[in-house]
Structure 1
């Protein structure tokens, strides 16, 4: 038990530091009072959003449950350890190949198990006009996403197991520092590595909208290098925009669907919201929270992987044994699930602050209200979803809350 105690203590200290950062950096404000839960949407639009949710949510929950079940079967029985050993045997069975190929195999098995539900979700999105992908493009996206996930996870686990083999008592401290560093690096690398894997980007042609968006960024005190258009219409009819990058790589990105569907003042309102995240350093906040959370999670993992009964169930001898990979993946999945409502609660607060920033920057509550309604219709969002669903899965305020906030701002 003694080697486990420092890991548990470190997890508690890092957890307290995370709470302090959340208290300091997050604008914990009350949600606006909603007078109209329909947010002004028509009966047909409400019925369509309700029908879409009724068709998709059960499959989403089943997908989540099935993924956890597969992870549990592989992580809490010796079957996962057997898979890790078997896939590496043709290459000599060394621990490096066990980690790399074992992670790939476990990830692919989990993805294959949930693939029918994912395909059903795609069918629903196509039926309601949200997805424009061909099945070949959908398959490509699944393969690319699986490859990126498996590759990054395998490298992380290779680092973890390698450290555990070299420093059996303190590996979790070194791995925690590495995980925090990877979160920071990911914030910089995501726009230049992951985003281009799914979309092509072109500079928005010169014109009034481009000029206005660049001017908006200057007025915001956060100038951008470029305004890019993403070819999102190849995959979806959803409307979106965001700001990515840091410093000289910062750019406003708008979906081409946005340009096709919305007038310029509404596009500017969305861009002002995204620029609000930049002005209040929300990416920095997210990176800091993510780094502390990752370090705390690895420390907690160090404590859990010191449990003899848990290791015996997984068929592994310790954190330095490559057969621990399925157990680690299960524990990470459980940690992600348990932290989801906390992450989304933080996200909702940041999004609400960005809404207020957009209203202050554009001084156009009518455009803001109009675009919130258009987004709800285009993305088939319920304006006032069930409270439990919103608490657990809602990363943004509801449409009804955002419209109410604009009305409060006007008053």
Structure 2
């Protein structure tokens, strides 16, 4: 146990050094020479101070992201190899003879352990955002959201654990297939209820107060044959200075949502471009394509977890204190493998997402015909979030679900030039 813990800490330390070297020393985020002085060059729309802050903030946040990913895996590994997970299972078993209640108690202790040890890392992320004035949220408000996160995740995951281990016990060789089949209605249900049950736990949503702007947005929706009756705004200015807008939910619970920071900092033409972008996702059915892609990756992922868990337990079950795949104490191994496979799939998922975002951008341009509003909105998004216009390659591959701001502004300008030539 000591040997494996020592090795884990050593490799984690080396990994952190490599990430630090890549982000702070090796990689650059400058603008390629052909684009210097263009509207894609942050020097044309950011002050010198904003340039420095965006570089510092983005680099620190990227570093924190990359070193945090394996940190939770390490905690789960510690739970297994020290026997803590096994001890938690024994506590739960002694409390009740009902497996569902045992699972709920076990996962409560596991969640509490991971949350407690991870809290300093999460707090550092909060303080960094607060220092750079991206976060405007008070500590008490941030803690409230953290507590809500804990209980929402706990309740959802408890349901998943009970069903998952029931399937493993009943169908040891095919549990992954039945789990995947059940995940389809469960995922659709969550997407349906999220706008009306989960999201309001964190923020207040209400119909857009600017009725003139709402009429313009609904006119765009009518032009795109989108059956929208309301546009919602959310009071995100209490928590952040960043800008955002999105479409959430499915079916009758679909919503177009604008952050009030977006309403406060963008002009109407810029907001209309962003709304046309979100409508592009709806028209091109990106939500449903995304669901299909998620379900396909889930099927592959669950099957791989089945194979890997069976192999790991057969070889190292005694070391990890797991007697079989049916053993509830082995759930941290499930979470570790799920996390690793999720990160491994991010480059593919993000590539597809970036393609969809570009398609939505071009749809919005075709609908509004306002290239300048598109460019200025991208510039303001970069300023408000202190985001890098041209991030390092690995950051883009693993973190960016949207094209970089450099790419977005460049292809909008190229489309503008193409239209002029035509």
Please confirm whether the aligned pair reaches a TM-score higher than 0.5, indicating the same fold.
yes
Rounded to whole Å, the distance in 2 between the matches of 1:243 and 1:60 is 25
C-alpha displacement at 1:77, in angstroms?
Answer: 5.3
C-alpha displacement at 1:105, in angstroms?
Answer: 2.1
Answering whether residue 178 of structure 2 is matched by residue 188 of structure 1, we say no
Answering whether residue 173 of structure 2 is matched by residue 149 of structure 1, we say no
Answering whether residue 404 of structure 2 is matched by residue 401 of structure 1, we say no
- The CA deviation string for residues 143-172 of structure 1, in whole angstroms up to 9 with x for no partner, is 111221222122112111011222233222
Partner of residue 271, structure 1: 275
C-alpha displacement at 1:76, in angstroms?
Answer: 5.1
Let me know the Cα RMSD of the aligned residues: 2.1
Answering whether residue 27 of structure 2 is matched by residue 38 of structure 1, we say no
Structure 1 unpaired stretches of 5+:
1-32
Given that residues 78 and 315 in structure 1 are in contact (C-alpha distance below 8 angstroms), is that contact kept between their aligned partners in structure 2? Answer: yes
Instruction: Specify the SS of the correspondent of 1:345.
Output: helix
CA change 1:313–1:100 in 2 (3 A) is farther
1:77-226 to structure 2, matched below 5 A, reads 78-86=83-91, 88-92=92-96, 94-205=98-209, 207-226=211-230
Higher relative contact order (CA 8 A, sep 6+): 1
CA change 1:334–1:313 in 2 (3 A) is farther
- The CA deviation string for residues 349-406 of structure 1, in whole angstroms up to 9 with x for no partner, is 1111111111111100000000000000001111011111111111111111110011
Answering whether residue 65 of structure 2 is matched by residue 60 of structure 1, we say yes
Rounded to whole Å, the distance in 2 between the matches of 1:93 and 1:316 is 20
Rounded to whole Å, the distance in 1 between the matches of 2:184 and 2:301 is 10
Between stretches 74-83 and 270-279, larger displacement belongs to 74-83
Given that residues 38 and 384 in structure 1 are in contact (C-alpha distance below 8 angstroms), is that contact kept between their aligned partners in structure 2? Answer: no
C-alpha displacement at 1:53, in angstroms?
Answer: 1.9
1:323 counterpart (323, 329, 336): 329
C-alpha displacement at 1:94, in angstroms?
Answer: 4.6
Answering whether residue 87 of structure 2 is matched by residue 50 of structure 1, we say no
C-alpha displacement at 1:313, in angstroms?
Answer: 3.5
Given that residues 172 and 299 in structure 1 are in contact (C-alpha distance below 8 angstroms), is that contact kept between their aligned partners in structure 2? Answer: yes
What is the total number of aligned residue pairs between the two structures?
379
Instruction: Specify the SS of the correspondent of 1:305.
Output: helix
Rounded to whole Å, the distance in 2 between the matches of 1:56 and 1:251 is 30
Given that residues 192 and 251 in structure 2 are in contact (C-alpha distance below 8 angstroms), is that contact kept between their aligned partners in structure 1? Answer: no
C-alpha displacement at 1:206, in angstroms?
Answer: 5.5
Between stretches 33-42 and 203-212, larger displacement belongs to 33-42
CA change 1:192–1:318 in 2 (3 A) is farther
Instruction: Specify the SS of the correspondent of 1:223.
Output: coil
Rounded to whole Å, the distance in 2 between the matches of 1:322 and 1:53 is 40
Rounded to whole Å, the distance in 2 between the matches of 1:168 and 1:61 is 35
Given that residues 348 and 395 in structure 1 are in contact (C-alpha distance below 8 angstroms), is that contact kept between their aligned partners in structure 2? Answer: yes
Partner of residue 310, structure 2: 306
